[in-house]
């Protein structure tokens, strides 16, 4: 198993002093997709891509049926870790290599997918590739999404770091018969409970909002305090209202992860702020309650601070329950590998939320050391990484068998 070396090699692509920067359609992320294609080619697998930039590595089956699929993403957050996403893709490649080495062809093709832009690090629509694949976002609409650098996704796909050169582009977005995603937990629950394999029950729903706050820039020394329309003070009150709403509503999380002040100079009263809000819960009703509280708080701030506030939803993903039937198969595989395998909910979002719209999905977690993720210090113990690969391989083969023997394949 080469998973450690491969993850270490991928981690050099986009490495920064604090972590890894591998945003969609940038040079390091393009290089990561190229590296996957090279490793897949040396394993004798076929590779293609779709028009949304998702990359597919395939082990052919005895029959040309819809594939059993696994995957995750190669892009990272800013200063991200080496395992979020990349682990699920490379583990899938390792699982394919182990299956191929047995010399026994599965009945169905088995595919590993590197989904494009799960993190939304450059284009502010997370899971942009799997959302197009699942028909949640029309390709034309995704191509029109404007990145934080001003380039549209469509132009980025057409750029030298967009669609891979010399890799066939498949027609359409043919769905799999079943999908399983292996991922690090990204939280502390499994480590604290001594669990090495997690059978995911559901993925928390998430809503993201883009907020514009317009006040009045002016001289920091001469503008009287009375009547100021300080956009950053308004943004600060709104940010605290986001935090308070999540605390008060409970069983939910929310934050303002991104905030830009303009003109952003010491001696100018801030005239404009843009910020983005991320709200999550396994209970969609709580997300809606938090959104209402945020909008109510904004209305109060507008009155009190003489500013204008616009709040636009930019991503809405409902909470997603894993498929019961697949979950049972995954549970049997995981408990046969480690009797302490246990159920766990996912606070993090994943491409499985989108794929769930076109196929039954399941997820498997391995622990994150100290629960750290979305930071350069993200780590998972080598033994846990390898155990996860075995759980993924076992699940893929079980799906192939289970979905083959059962005439009702849905
Ligand atoms: O934000 C998330 O949950 C995921 O890492 N994109
Ligand atoms: Mn992530
Ligand atoms: Mn991820």
Ligand 1 pocket list (CB less than 6 A): 118-119, 126, 348-349
Q: Which atom of ligand 1 is nearest to the CA of 373?
A: 5
410 Cα to the center of ligand 3, angstroms: 27
Q: Looking at 282, 317, 352, which one is the last position of a domain?
A: 317
Q: How far apart are CA 275 and CA 231, in angstroms?
A: 11
Q: Please indicate, yes or no, whether residues 213 and 250 belong to a single structural domain of this protein.
A: yes
Q: Which atom of ligand 1 is nearest to the CA of 349?
A: 3
83 Cα to the center of ligand 3, angstroms: 8
- Which residue minimizes the CA distance to atom 4 of ligand 1? 349
Q: Please indicate, yes or no, whether residues 138 and 40 belong to a single structural domain of this protein.
A: yes
Number of domains in the chain: 2
| Closest to 313 measured CA to CA, from 153, 123, 125, 145 | 125
Which H or E run contains 205?
A: strand 205-214
- For residue 54, give every residue at least 6 positions away whose Cβ sits within 8 Å of its Cβ, in sequence order, or none: 113, 114, 115, 116, 129, 130, 132, 133
CATH at residue 250? 3.30.70.360
Is 410 among the domain residues? no
Neighbours of 6 (CB within 10 A): 20
| Residue of 116, 126, 314, 368 best suited for mutating to test ligand 1, as the one with most atoms within 8 Å of CB | 126
301 Cα to the center of ligand 1, angstroms: 29
| Closest to 279 measured CA to CA, from 235, 314, 232 | 314
Q: How far apart are CA 340 and CA 333, in angstroms?
A: 12
Q: Please indicate, yes or no, whether residues 254 and 121 belong to a single structural domain of this protein.
A: no
Q: Please indicate, yes or no, whether residues 168 and 229 belong to a single structural domain of this protein.
A: no
Is 193 among the domain residues? yes
Is 45 among the domain residues? yes
The answer to whether residues 99 and 106 touch, using CB atoms and an 8 Å cutoff, is yes
- The sign of the torsion formed by the CA atoms of 27, 171, 73, 388 equals negative
- The sign of the torsion formed by the CA atoms of 232, 233, 238, 244 equals positive
3-state secondary structure 334-368: HHHHCCCCEEEEECCCCCHHHHCCCCCEEEEEECC
Is 82 among the domain residues? yes
Q: How far apart are CA 367 and CA 198, in angstroms?
A: 8
Q: Please indicate, yes or no, whether residues 53 and 109 belong to a single structural domain of this protein.
A: yes
Q: Looking at 317, 344, 379, which one is the last position of a domain?
A: 317
361 Cα to the center of ligand 1, angstroms: 17
130 Cα to the center of ligand 3, angstroms: 12
Along the 410 residues of the chain, how does pLDDT read in single tens digits?
Answer: 689 999 999 999 999 999 999 999 999 999 999 999 999 999 999 999 999 999 999 999 999 999 999 999 999 999 999 999 999 999 999 999 999 999 999 999 999 999 999 999 999 999 999 999 999 999 999 999 999 999 999 999 999 999 999 999 999 999 999 999 999 999 999 999 999 999 999 999 999 999 999 999 999 999 999 999 999 999 999 999 999 999 999 999 999 999 999 999 999 999 999 999 999 999 999 999 999 999 999 999 999 999 999 999 999 999 999 999 999 999 999 999 999 999 999 999 999 999 999 999 999 999 999 999 999 999 999 999 999 999 999 999 999 998 866 544 44
Q: Please indicate, yes or no, whether residues 39 and 99 belong to a single structural domain of this protein.
A: yes
| Residue of 79, 81, 186 best suited for mutating to test ligand 1, as the one with most atoms within 8 Å of CB | 186
- Which residue minimizes the CA distance to atom 6 of ligand 1? 119
120 Cα to the center of ligand 1, angstroms: 8
Q: Please indicate, yes or no, whether residues 312 and 233 belong to a single structural domain of this protein.
A: yes
Give the predicted TM-score (pTM) of the model. 0.95
| Closest to 79 measured CA to CA, from 23, 41, 38, 132 | 23
Q: Please indicate, yes or no, whether residues 79 and 125 belong to a single structural domain of this protein.
A: yes
Is 302 among the domain residues? yes
Q: Which atom of ligand 1 is nearest to the CA of 206?
A: 3
Q: Please indicate, yes or no, whether residues 73 and 107 belong to a single structural domain of this protein.
A: yes
169 Cα to the center of ligand 2, angstroms: 26
Q: Please indicate, yes or no, whether residues 311 and 326 belong to a single structural domain of this protein.
A: no
Q: Please indicate, yes or no, whether residues 260 and 136 belong to a single structural domain of this protein.
A: no
C-alpha separations of 223 from 135, 209, 216, 229, 304 in Å: 52, 31, 10, 10, 17
Q: How far apart are CA 142 and CA 181, in angstroms?
A: 23
- For residue 127, give every residue at least 6 positions away whose Cβ sits within 8 Å of its Cβ, in sequence order, or none: 115, 117, 118, 120, 317, 349, 350, 351, 353, 354
Q: Looking at 317, 335, 354, which one is the last position of a domain?
A: 317
Domain that holds residue 117: 3-204+319-405
Region label for 317, one of left (φ > 0), alpha (ψ between -120 and 50) or beta (otherwise) = beta
CATH at residue 82? 3.40.630.10
Q: Which atom of ligand 1 is nearest to the CA of 118?
A: 6
Please state the φ and ψ torsions of residue 310, each to the nearest 5 degrees: -115, 140
The answer to whether residues 252 and 286 touch, using CB atoms and an 8 Å cutoff, is yes
Q: Please indicate, yes or no, whether residues 27 and 83 belong to a single structural domain of this protein.
A: yes
Ligand minimally distant from the alpha carbon of residue 120: 1
């Amino acid at each position: 198993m080469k998973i450690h070396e491969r993850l270490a090699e991928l981690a050099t692509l986009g490495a920064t002093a604090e972590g890894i920067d591998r945003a969609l359609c940038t040079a390091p992320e393009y290089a990561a997709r190229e590296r996957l294609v090279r490793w897949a080619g040396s394993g004798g697998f076929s590779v293609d891509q779709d028009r949304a930039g998702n990359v597919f590595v395939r082990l052919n089956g005895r029959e040309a049926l819809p594939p059993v699929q696994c995957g995750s993403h190669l892009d990272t957050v800013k200063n991200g870790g080496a395992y979020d996403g990349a682990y699920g893709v490379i583990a899938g490649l390792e699982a394919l290599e182990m299956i191929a080495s047995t010399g026994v062809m599965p009945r169905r093709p088995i595919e590993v997918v590197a989904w494009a832009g799960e993190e939304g690090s450059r284009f502010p629509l997370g899971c942009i590739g799997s959302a197009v694949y699942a028909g949640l976002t029309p390709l034309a609409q995704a191509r029109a999404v404007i990145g934080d650098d001003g380039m549209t996704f469509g132009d980025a796909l057409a750029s030298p770091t967009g669609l891979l050169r010399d890799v066939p582009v498949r027609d359409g977005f043919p769905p799999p018969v079943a999908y399983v995603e292996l991922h690090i937990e990204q939280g502390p629950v499994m480590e604290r409970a001594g669990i090495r394999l997690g059978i995911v029950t559901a993925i928390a729903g998430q809503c993201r909002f883009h907020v514009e706050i317009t006040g009045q820039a002016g001289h920091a020394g001469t503008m009287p305090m009375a009547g100021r329309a300080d956009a950053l003070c308004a943004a600060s009150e709104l940010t605290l209202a986001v935090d308070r709403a999540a605390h008060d509503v409970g069983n939910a999380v929310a934050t303002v992860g991104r905030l830009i002040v303009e003109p952003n100079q010491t001696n100018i009263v801030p005239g404009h702020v843009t910020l983005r809000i991320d709200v999550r819960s396994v209970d969609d009703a709580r997300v809606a309650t938090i959104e209402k509280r945020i909008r109510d708080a904004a209305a109060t701030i507008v009155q009190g601070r003489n500013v204008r506030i616009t709040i636009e939803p930019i991503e809405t993903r409902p909470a997603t329950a894993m498929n019961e039937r697949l979950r049972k198969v995954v549970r049997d595989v995981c408990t046969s590998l480690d009797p302490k395998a246990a159920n766990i909910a996912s606070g993090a979002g994943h491409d499985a939320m989108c794929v769930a719209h076109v196929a039954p999905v399941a997820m498997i977690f391995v622990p994150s050391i100290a629960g750290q993720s979305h930071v350069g210090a993200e780590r998972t113990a080598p033994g846990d990484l390898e155990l996860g690969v075995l759980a993924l391989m076992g699940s893929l083969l079980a799906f192939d068998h289970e979905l083959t023997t059962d005439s009702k394949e849905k």
